[in-house]
Amino acid sequence: MLAVVCPGQGSQNPGMLSPWLELPGTVDLLDSFSAAAGTDLALHGTTSDADTIRDTAVAQPLIVSSSLLALRVILDGRAATDVVDVTAGHSVGELSAAAVAGALDDAGAVGLVSHRARAMAEAAAAAPSGMSAVVGGDPDEVMAAIEAAGLFPANVNGGGQIVAAGDPERLTAFAADAPARTRVIPLQVAGAFHTPFMDSARSAFAQVAEGWLATDPRLPLLSNADGATYDSLAPGSHGHGTAADVLTRLAAQVTAPVRWDLCQATLAERGVTGILELAPGGVLTGLAKRALKGVESVAVKSPDDIEAARDLVARHSTVAEAAA
């Protein structure tokens, strides 16, 4: 069984789109994404420096565009519903996953995430805040220590990693008195995402998302809220939830913790045997190697990984096997 997973913010790196744009059709595809985003993604994906693409308003549409561009190259004209058994995305990657599942079209996902990115950048600029990864330790003790420090567990990633977020002074104090057997690593992000610090962004984004063009998912899509699928038996639906539910949860996700640990638990429960992480890949397959031992994975970082990705798809997709 094949899972396609989509990375979140922080996975971007300078020049990451340059090798992709040498492939047929990719320039036109990226042009359509740039038009949807209202920004020059080709420029940011080829020549912009690390500081420029660290900007939330740039990073989020750039990451979603990279993931979807890689997906279309790998599938080479095939529909995701003919290949993918289940999909999920981490934080902003959940919008990429919504496109994989067919709830959003590719340009629509890039356009929608651009509204999210601008709203979150504005919220981050309104009040100082930050995030730190807490690696190791007992998860329950780490969660208790984060709460006691007046911080928020923004990402519960599994594999011994929880991200604390909130006031910078409290983060500094937390690092100075870290929980036993942990390392606290400050993250280079603009604000405390997935916490109440983003409440103004959630409100602004929810107004946009509510009226966004979307359709019911056509394959299982996991939610960051609880790792569950959007199951639905509504008349006329495909059984994988409704467009309205997906858009509502995408808006709520701006201030809610990312429970990637629960997403990984669902992948295990569903019997996933292969994980394909779309570009710019690496982080989620790293977490999977610790939490989903024995599950084969491929992280797509450049076109050099296309053949390995297609091979993984051929050997693990039960949808494709059933159709053959």
pLDDT band at 233 (very low <50, low <70, confident <90, very high): low
> What pLDDT, in 10s, does the model give residues 50-77?
999 999 999 999 999 999 999 999 999 9
Tokens matching residue 289: 């190697």
Q: Where does residue 211 rank: exposed (0-12), middle (13-18), buried (19+ CB within 10 A)?
A: exposed
Q: Which residue range forms the structural domain that includes residue 165? A: 130-186
| 191 assigned to some structural domain | no
Selecting among 194, 223, 240, 316, the annotated active-site residue is 194
Percentage of the chain modeled with pLDDT above 90: 94
145/214 same-domain check: no
Q: How many CA atoms lie within 13 A of 110 on its CB side?
A: 25
115/146 same-domain check: no
> What pLDDT, in 10s, does the model give residues 245-257?
999 999 999 999 9
| 119 assigned to some structural domain | yes
17/103 same-domain check: yes
CA 238 – CA 288 distance, rounded (Å): 29
pLDDT band at 322 (very low <50, low <70, confident <90, very high): confident
14/108 same-domain check: yes
Question: Is 297 a residue of the active site?
Answer: no
> What pLDDT, in 10s, does the model give residues 100-115?
999 999 999 999 999 9
Number of domains in the chain: 2
* pLDDT reading at 235 higher than 90: no
204/272 same-domain check: yes
Q: How far out from the chain centre does Cα 289 lie?
A: 18
Please provide the average confidence, as pLDDT, over all residues in the chain.
96
Tokens matching residue 61: 């549409």
pLDDT band at 238 (very low <50, low <70, confident <90, very high): confident
* pLDDT reading at 324 higher than 70: no
118/237 same-domain check: yes
Selecting among 91, 96, 223, 317, the annotated active-site residue is 91
Which alpha helices (DSSP H) does the chain contain, by range?
A: 26-37, 41-46, 50-54, 56-75, 93-100, 106-126, 139-148, 168-176, 199-210, 243-252, 260-269, 283-291, 306-316, 318-323
pLDDT of residue 190: 87
Question: Is 194 a residue of the active site?
Answer: yes
3-state DSSP assignment of residue 131 = strand
